[in-house]
Amino acid sequence: MSVLFSPATLRGLTLSNRIVISPMCQYSAQGGKAMAWHMIHLGNLALSGAGMLITEATAVEPEGRISPADLGLWDDETEAALVPVLAAIRRHSKVAVAVQLAHAGRKASSHVPWEGGQLIPADQGGWRPYAPSAVPQKDGEAAPLALDAAGLARVREAFAAAARRADRLGIDAIEIHAAHGYLLHQFLSPLANRRTDEYGGSLENRLRFPLEVFDAVRAAFPADKPVGIRVSASDWVAGGWDLEQTVVFAHALKARGVDWIDVSSGGVSPQQRIALGPGYQVPFAQAVKAATGVNTMAVGLITEAKQAEEIVASGQADFVALARGILYDPRWPWHAAAELGATVEAAPQFWRSPPHAHKALFGDTVTGAR
């Protein structure tokens, strides 16, 4: 029996399998509001057969967007724009839906990737980003504004308010974005955090604000709904954030009841040197799981069904999270289930689609027609 296609329970939420669709920024919102693209994109992925779909990084305040085209969840309009998208998913799919709540910090106010991704100056339609310290992401960029006490309180409450909106929307779970060089990762990494107050310097101090945000989200979201977090396990830069510090962070999160840790890496510095290869980040997830026992998600160049099965069956991680691979092959879970001899849920409109060799892919379904 396939472990990849076995169910998993996170608090009051049961997933049909261990395949998770990672958050993937689409840069297609207007004023933070979901548009027709989100209906098409998320609707397509909701029919993939994955156990959980996590929406793209969703900004908790306008200044926290990576780009002006980022999705947001900070007011009644951005909340309302997600209602029809989620209603369509719920009508046609049993997939669990999570939202990734995010703040870009000093990486905010950027052009969309296909327009270069560079910082947009405030006098050219951008805005002045906020960060732990007035240290730019890249040499030559304008320095961000260091968050003061009022700013820290504002961002904490913005995360909590977005969590309450997510619950009103009927979203099943939340993932907090503390990876890829965005605001919470910036607080964690000594490369970005140069503060001299209680939020900077020592590891204990650098953990403080991300843990406060986690506590605020956890308190704002119903106790029976899971809250996870995405982390970068390494900056891939000497003297930066690393796996040892990640494990300390993971222990602190475990004590607070975190439901999963989605283990990625990199993003805080253009000086990073990443050794890419199939499953290159899986050892990070394995190390966090071994040290803490917390549920982990493995990410990064996981492309083959047998590779994903081995990761979860061997206990390296509890889930595999797919991003670019499932954009390229939106029926990846179908194909993996066929290869591993498992079954997967599908909308009845698709029940007649499998080739004869995999006619049992969707279990005991009606495939005839008049």
Nearest Cα to 52, choosing from 90, 83, 22, 11?
22
Catalytic residue among 182, 199, 280, 328: 182
Q: Assign 3-state DSSP to the chain and report helix, strand, coil percentages, each to 5.
A: 35, 15, 50
| Per-residue DSSP letter, 46 | H
DSSP 283: H
Place of tokens 């081995």: 310
Residue of 176, 174, 166 whose CA lies nearest to 52: 174
Task: Specify whether 182 is catalytic.
Answer: yes
Q: Please state, in angstroms and rounded to a whole number, the distance separating the CA atoms of residues 5 and 316.
A: 16
What is the SS3 assignment for 278? coil
DSSP string, 140-202: TSPPPEEP-HHHHHHHHHHHHHHHHHHHHTT--EEEEEE-TTSHHHHHH-TTT----STTSSS
Length of the chain: 370
Say how far residue 156 (Cα) sits from the centre of its chain. Answer: 18
Is the CB of residue 360 less than 8 Å from the CB of residue 337? no
Rounded to whole angstroms, the Cα distance separating 32 from 108 reads 13
- Measured between alpha carbons, how far is 14 from 51 in angstroms, rounded to an integer? 9
Burial environment of residue 1 by CB neighbours within 10 A (0 to 12, 13 to 18, 19 or more): exposed
- Active site amino acids: 182
